[in-house]
Structure 1
Amino acid sequence: MSLTVENQRQALLNSPAGQLTPLQRAVLPWVYVAWSEGSLDSEALQQLAGQIPADSFEESGLKTLRLLCDASLTPQEFNQLQQLILQTAQNSSTSDWSSLYRLMDYSLTLAGPELDAAGKSSLEQLEKQLQLTGAAVPGELLPCAFKAAHNDEPRRFNPRPLRKMLAGSRPEVREKMFQTLEHPRFRHEYGISTSVFRDRVYNWCIEFCREGLGKMAYPTEVGGGGELLSFLTSIEALSHFDLSLVIKFGVHFGLFCGSVYHLGSSRHHQEILPLGFSLELPGCFAMTETGHGSNVRSLETTATYDQERQEFVIHTPNLAARKDYIGNAALHAQMATVFAQLVIGDQQYGVHAFLVRIRDNQGVTMPGVHIEDCGEKVGLNGVDNGRLRFTRVRIPRTNLLDRFAQVAPDGSYTSPITSPTKRFFTMISTLVLGRVTLAAAATRVSKNALTIALRYGEQRRQFGAEGAPEQSILDYQTHQRRLLPRLASTLALNFAFQDLSLRCVDSLDNEDGRRRIEALAAGLKAWGTWHAFDTVQQCRECCGGQGYLAANRFGALRDDLDVFLTFEGDNTVLMQLVAKSLLTDFRHQFSEMGFVGLLQYLSRRATEAVSAWNPLTTRSTDPSHLRDFDFHLRAFKARENHLLTRVAGRLKRMIEGGEDTWTAFNSCQDHLVTLAKASVERNLLECFQAAVQRCSDAPTQGVLQQFCCLFALSRLEVGRAWFLENGYFEGAKSKAIRDQVLELCKQTRAMAWDVVSAFGIPDKLISAPIGLGDYPAPPVAK
């Protein structure tokens, strides 16, 4: 009997595929998968085949099933079965095998259109009995022609128009900077000493100073270049290369020279700025103290006026008052802008800025000045951070930076700004450009990290279907999920920074405009640096052991970026500044409204609430609704407005109930930070949507539209707890948003290579062997 079974099975396995019935062809892959998956052992499989009723299966199909499910099937016969299935597939008229993921679809394709309804019903029954419901097609059953062509899919769009958009309004400056940075004297070198690294970074600063970069941001009237946008573009380019260079350069030309320009008078502009622009007088910015970082108003360093000698006496009263973590102070700075409490007689006038010599022209420390080196740091070791203490150091009366306050020879104090509080914040707000440049630098770090990780993800292959070539790791959903939403957020930050840069050019010298810029810069600096740090870490992990190698740069990027989260304002503190700015605008809005205006406002709010919170909106899971730009922006605005009105109400009730202002704000800190984050994300979305709308190249606009949807929906997914708690979403909608995020990750995956190519970062600046652009990418779309 067994010999008869073997002979019959051999006859079947040696049959030309064209002689098999439709049901026979359909049955073959089910038997193959049942054996290879091992979901049933050989005896159970044979027993199951014997129990299938004859009236539920056409005779040829049933006979095939029983022959191939027999326990005596040999390994050689199993290989013959695979070859018969592949021969059947090659004879099929189907050419697009990429859409056949489910085994049932594959089986029906082999059967062809001749398979009748009874045959399809038989297959459905077989799927259940073999416990293979929803099973996938094994890779070894796909035709070889499909496997070979799988990695040759064309790219989705030409990156050149997007590159032009992302480069901003000064692309020629960017390209010139890149050409300079590609010279061999600019290189990353690992294992060098801190002292060598510091000298190298300082020499780089001198070189760019000679190119005129340092004075570029300042008006021509004071000897500058009058090109703020070009300066910001140059800082962006430097950020792709080395953050120590960015910070050291920014401390001198941005903070030191900036403080002289913004806080000083024409006398300081004439005497100090030419020396600062040429780096003949290297400077530093001495604000932070060991005991006071963000709370600048409570600094303890004093500047006491001596009327008889017409000098200020700069003094550090205790160790907590020493100036700490001051960039350029340890080695190179010769002058410091020192922030100190102004004391005249028995009166204190608050924090003011003073120019103090800390070294002479030969680099010798001045009398009464004590300088310490902060030493090795986690990152940015090309910057010489130091500590400064002053023991009754005398400086001329004219060294007070006196734009906003003047001290006459007789000690009389005058200021065009009566309120000390307003005077202080006006003085500090003029220095906002530092946060703008940090937001730009952090976004460029995100671009570098994503370029490396996505290029590596395209070429690194791992696992895959049995018998098929290994898959690119970027084809895996989890890999896409980790990288592509962060790529979308980086694009959003790029466009938001472009918007902020233009605002700086238009409004930085205007008080109202500067206050708006200050809030925007604080929010983008905080959100952008948090995002960049998280992105670098995710990219490092996505590159496995290769990402841990120093040569592939993730370690240096992460370590250098770490301090961005806390300097130029701790991110959490900056977010509270953003929230307080929103509350100020909210209060002014109401104070300027008449009765009619208030009624109109309340009516508009009620209409928006009905629209946003109605059941049709909260329950809708339609993909066209979920990808609608208006829905995204309404959701972001609704969250921000709801948080703003609620926290304003909380603070009002607490203060009216007798709480002091500090206690009231302290009780609402979490609420305030949540509000600020919501406001920043709304601004990011508005800038991204505006960029999509102004894009004139249709294919590029389609790409940006998908990434904009991915940004919006991924942020809604991150914040879904708030939307669910407040009834803006129902559970089904939250799940549908998650499904859309996954679908958008799948769709934008094919675009990732071209998007990072559109960043336009030269390989020399990427500098990571696993992230260079010479990997053979798919062909460029014409």
Structure 2
Amino acid sequence: MITADFWYKRQDVFSDRKTAMSQRLDALIDSQHLRPLLPVIYIAWADGTLANEEGQRIRELAGTIGPLGSDDARVLDEWLSPQAAPSATECSVLRRRIREQVRHRQPSLAAMSAAMNGADSTQVTDAVGRYAKERNISGMGVSSEIFQDAGQPVGQSFNEQPSRFNPARVQAVLEGDYAHEWQQVRDILEHDVFAYAYDETSEAARARVLRWLQHLAEHRDMAASALPESVGGQGNMAGFIHVFMALAMFDLSLVVKFGVQFGLFGGSIIFLGNDEHHKTYLPDIASLDLLGGFAMTESGHGSNVQELETTATYDPATQEFVLNTPTMSARKEWIGNAARDGHAATVFAQLNTGGESYGVHAFVVPIRTDDGQAAPGVRIEDCGPKMGLVGVDNGRLYFDQVRIPRKNLLDRYAVVQPDGTYESPIASDNKRFFTMLGTLVGGRISVASACVTAAKKALTIATRYGALRRQFGGDDGKELRVLDYRTHQMRLFPKIAHTYALHFAIEDLIEQFRNRTEADSRHIETLAAGLKSMASWEAIDACQQARECCGGLGFLSENQIATVRRDIDVFATFEGDNTVLMQLLAKNKLASYAKGFEQNLVATIAKELAGKARTELLEGNPVIQRKTDEDHLRDADFHLEVLKLRAHNMLVSAARRIRKRITDGMEPFIAFTDIQDHLMAYAKADMEHHIAVCFAKRVAALEAGPTRDALETMRQLAAVDTIYADSAWYLDQGYFQPTKRKALRRLRIKLLDEIRPDALGYVEAFAIPDGCLSAPIAFEDYIGREPLKHAADDGVA
């Protein structure tokens, strides 16, 4: 049993210990001779242990400063005894007394020891300086340990030197001929209606995004820019894509809602419908009097559109098509605008007439009545809570013998006459199918462009925060900006470089799309598939790195990165699953010489592989294998040569692998499936080469000067980072020597150093307005800011 007497005796013990501790501290602190050594003693005990050898070295240091009296020697021995480690309280008091004497951070242990005397002392500085050098004690460590919680305010100022280039001029290069569209979006987004909200219900988020879309629709020249001139539009699909791209500066739910309404629903009618369809639907689509969706994907068939199960059977007696969902796997899935707002949809279904099936065609189908109820025979479900894009009303659609007029067939490429006769200028079902889908490639380009802007936003916030946030000490006695740490630069700067590279690759694709002809439609479709995949994967990774580089604050919704990271995830699988798209790219490249539009291209490729497999591999230059001088490693010709070599030789290798399997008796389709990993690696290599070519061409077209120099540095980092990431392949194939790989690694680090002074300038050139950035951590005054408004604050229901 614990008695009161026990507690009294225990209190006496604690009191005695406290007295002894106080006396030991006072003896050390009051010693004028030992006072300069207080920082040394504190740092020596910082890890909680002190070796005999280290204690002896401090005694020698004390003797170097001056002879010790017997009392001082006794006190020092007490503090340097490994068996008498100071308590937490003693350490805390000792640290506080050092702070009181030194008053502010010092750049080194020697300077701190000298400051303990109240004046600089050469004898102390020299002696302690030699000791610190010998023990490898840095000023950074001393400042961090002694002043880590001193209550000093953290500086929240960029306080950076101006960039060595004008960010506005880099912005002008980025936006090019479409600066008007970009500025138009910025101006519109300044309206008060465009305000972020957090902690919203799904219904409130959808209502808010619809209100944003309605405001955009009021600016008819922007919303209707892609419409044909015959219905009051500008026929400017490239300008429309840039508007879509620019809107990603703000909110991706709005981007998707905008894209579904104008790009997919409106675009399908523009490209697949006739003039009468244009006049009937497009004005109402532009004004939002008719909200619609794009019903292609089914639960059982997403990427394999040609095998969709929904049917549209023509009834000549009534001159109507009858749409039906024959199985649960035929339900239309993930249809934007379906769950809440849409009144119609472009529905893709197998067209049957006269007892024959003519493949997948598109139909305009009402899905709601004027009072907002589901149309007769139409069943609508909400897809439910999602990982991201909370403001988009994704729904499922089922059709139970839904009748629509014959004229609702979008018949640019095929007509069904009143008697049910089917007519098309394209005889082949496969070619007709691919022609119809090829007209919708603008949607895939738009998705890729939005991914690049989303990455720009996340990287801008993270870079600005990195220039503000300080962590741990520096030799100047101040905590370092986290952007000055090598690991932080390695996470952010290559992502910025790849974002620049993808921007120029997509700009090139938009121009090809704007000037397309029927002859190059397959090439553009292939590029769009590859760049959409590369851009979405890169954006996801860039947003994740940006989130991590902002620590816990990057996880807060109000700081935007978490929201962008959440919303961008689905971009890897909509408008085509990236893995499937990269397989498509590889197949198209293998069959680039094939005629026609085969269903899966396998039959044609199999016929031609024997010749393709004999294509000579490109040989590596033996001089280049060993060449490591910096000018060579920075040179665009070198970058493009080795990237081309990798892509070409992987293509030839794929052809040989498939040929061998077919020769050994494997079915062609199975042979393709068996080397999917190799095809994916080839497709990625091909895109890396293409992206590097686009960046190099754009930089080469600029006049000499700071703007070109700035973009050239970014181009070099993007290329070197790509080549270094694949350096194992170059080593395995004998195209590089190990010394070259090491030289590339050193140059990559050097490029980070070159970019660091201009880091803020590079992200400023993205020209994302403060209202779109919004994130408090991206601004100098983020400490002490008022919390951002939540959804409930402005009456949104």
Q: Quote the offset at 1:328 in angstroms.
A: 0.5
Aligned-pair distance for 1:274? 2.4
Q: Please, which of 552, 564, 567 is the counterpart of residue 559 of structure 2? A: 552
Equivalent of 1:183 in 182, 191, 210: 191
Q: In the alignment, does 2:781 pair up with 1:771?
A: no
Q: CA deviation at 1:760?
A: 0.8
Q: What is aligned with 1:464?
A: 473
Q: 1:196 aligns with which of 182, 190, 204?
A: 204
Question: How far is 1:359 from its partner?
Answer: 1.7
CA gap 1:396/1:476 in 2 versus in 1, 3 angstroms:
same
1:336 match: secondary structure: strand
RMSD: 3.9
Match of 1:639 among 627, 631, 646: 646
Spell out, residue by residue over 1:610-640, the C-alpha distance to the aligned partner (whole angstroms, 9 max, x if none): 42xx1x3223332222222211111111110
How far did residue 178 of structure 1 move?
Answer: 0.9
- Name the CA distance, whole Å, in 2 between partners of 1:375 and 1:152: 47
Tell me, in whole angstroms, the C-alpha distance in 2 between the residues paired with 1:477 and 1:551.
Answer: 28
Give me the whole-angstrom Cα distance separating, in 1, the residues matched to 2:732 and 2:349: 47
Q: Does 1:698 align with 2:708?
A: no
Q: Percent identity, aligned pairs only?
A: 44
1:262 matched residue in structure 2: 271
Pairing partner for 2:307 from 275, 287, 298: 298
Alignment correspondent of 1:243:
252
Report how far residue 405 of structure 1 moved: 1.5
Separation in 2 of the partners of 1:623 and 1:172? Answer: 40
Q: Which of 345, 361, 364 does residue 354 from structure 2 map onto? A: 345
In the alignment, structure 1 residue 231 sits paired with structure 2 residue 240: yes
Equivalent position amino acid for 2:629 in 1: D
The Cα shift of 1:439 comes to: 0.8
> Contact 1:32/1:81 (CA < 8 Å) preserved in 2?
no
Once the two structures are TM-superposed, the CA of residue 505 in structure 1 deviates from its matched residue by: 1.3
- Do structure 1's residue 573 and structure 2's residue 580 form an aligned pair? yes
The residue that corresponds to 1:217 in the other structure is 226
Q: Is the 8 A contact 1:139 1:468 kept in 2?
A: no
Letter in 1 for 2:237: L
Q: 1:506 corresponds to which letter in structure 2?
A: N
d(CA) in 2 for partners of 1:246, 1:321: 27
Structure 2 residue runs without a partner (length 5+): 1-31, 80-96, 103-108, 145-154, 596-603, 605-610, 784-797
In structure 2, which of residues 259, 262, 268 is the aligned counterpart of residue 253 of structure 1?
262
CA deviations over 1:53-72 (Å, ceiling 9, x no partner): xxxxxxxx9x969989x989
Distance 1:264 1:657, change over 3 A: farther
Cα pair distance change 1:152/1:282, threshold 3 Å:
closer
Say whether the 8 Å CA contact 2:339–2:395 is kept in structure 1: yes
Distance in 2 of aligned mates of 1:199 and 1:496: 35
Cα displacement (A) at 1:427:
0.8
Residue among 159, 171, 175 paired with 1:163? 171
Distance 1:537 1:583 in 2: 34
Could you tell which deviates more after superposition, 330-339 or 319-328?
A: 330-339
Tell me how far 1:263 sits from its aligned partner: 1.1
Distance (whole Å) between structure 1 residues aligned to residue 307 and residue 112 of structure 2? 81
Following the alignment from structure 2 to structure 1, what is the Cα–Cα distance between the partners of residues 223 and 574? 22
1:686 aligns with 2:697: no
1:471 positional shift: 0.7
Q: Aligned AA for 1:366? A: A
Q: Deviations over 1:253-305 (max 9, x none)?
A: 11111111111122212222222222222211111111111111111111111
Counterpart contact for 2:343–2:369, Cα < 8 Å:
yes
Give, as a single letter, the amino acid of the residue that structure 2 aligns with 1:464. Answer: G
Q: Is the 8 A contact 2:132 2:138 kept in 1?
A: no
User: In the alignment, which residue of structure 2 is the partner of 1:735?
Assistant: 742
Letter in 2 for 1:761: I
What is residue 283 of structure 1 aligned with on the other side?
292
1:32–1:82: 8 Å Cα contact kept in structure 2? no
Of 600, 619, 641, 1:609 maps to 619
- The amino acid of 2:491's aligned partner reads R
Aligned equivalent of 2:461? 452
Partner deviation per Cα, 1:734-759 (whole Å, 9 max, x = no partner): 23222222222222122111111111
1:701 maps to amino acid = R
* Correspondence for 2:412 among 392, 403, 412: 403
What is the DSSP-based 3-state SS (H/G/I as helix, E as strand, rest coil) of the residue aligned with 2:591?
A: helix
- Contact kept? 2:139, 2:477, Cα under 8 Å: no
1:576 partner amino acid: Q
TM-score by length of structure 1 reads 0.80
Identify the residue that residue 425 of structure 1 maps to in structure 2: 434
Q: TM-score, normalised by structure 2?
A: 0.79
- Inter-CA distance 466–281: structure 2 relative to 1 (3 Å threshold): closer
Match of 1:22?
Answer: none
**SS of residue in 2 equivalent to 1:760:** coil
1:372 aligns with 2:375: no
The separation in 2 between residues aligned to 1:526 and 1:71, in whole angstroms, is: 72
Cα displacement (A) at 1:326: 0.6
Q: CA deviation at 1:420?
A: 1.2
CA contact (8 A) 1:161 1:697 kept: no
Contact 2:158 2:467 in 1 (8 A): no
Q: In structure 2, the residue corresponding to 1:348 is in which secondary structure?
A: strand
Give, as a single letter, the amino acid of the residue that structure 1 aligns with 2:580: V
Q: Is the 8 A contact 2:143 2:474 kept in 1?
A: no
Q: Hey, what's the Cα distance between the residues in 2 that align with 1:73 and 1:418?
A: 102
Distance in 2 between the 1:541 and 1:159 partners? 26
Among 345, 368, 371, the alignment partner of 1:362 is 371
How many pairs are equivalent?
Answer: 695
Q: Which amino acid aligns with 2:388?
A: G
What is residue 181 of structure 2 aligned with on the other side?
173
Q: Does 1:724 align with 2:731?
A: yes
Superposed CA deviations along residues 403-431 of structure 1, whole A, max 9, x for unmatched, are 11122222222221122111111111110
Alignment-derived partner of residue 537 in structure 1: 544
Higher mean alpha-carbon deviation, 239-248 vs 352-361, is at 352-361
Cα 1:408–1:477, aligned 2, differ >3 Å: closer, same or farther? same
Query: Once structures 1 and 2 are overlaid, which stretch shifts more, 669-678 or 36-45?
Result: 36-45
Runs of 5+ in structure 1 lacking a partner?
1-9, 15-27, 52-60, 92-105, 112-122, 143-147, 592-597, 777-782
State the SS of the aligned residue for 2:177: coil
Cα distance in 2, alignment partners of residues 649 and 202 from structure 1: 53
**2-structure distance, mates of 1:165, 1:688:** 12
Match of 1:205 among 195, 209, 213: 213
User: Any idea what SS the aligned residue of 1:224 has?
Assistant: coil
Relative distance call for 1:662 and 1:246 in structure 2 (3 A) is same
Residue type of the alignment partner of 1:640: A
Check the 8 A contact 1:327/1:386 in 2, yes or no.
yes
2: CA distance between counterparts of 1:47 and 1:382?
Answer: 69
Within-5 A mapping of 1:19-168 = 44=53, 82=111, 130=134, 154-157=161-164, 158-168=166-176
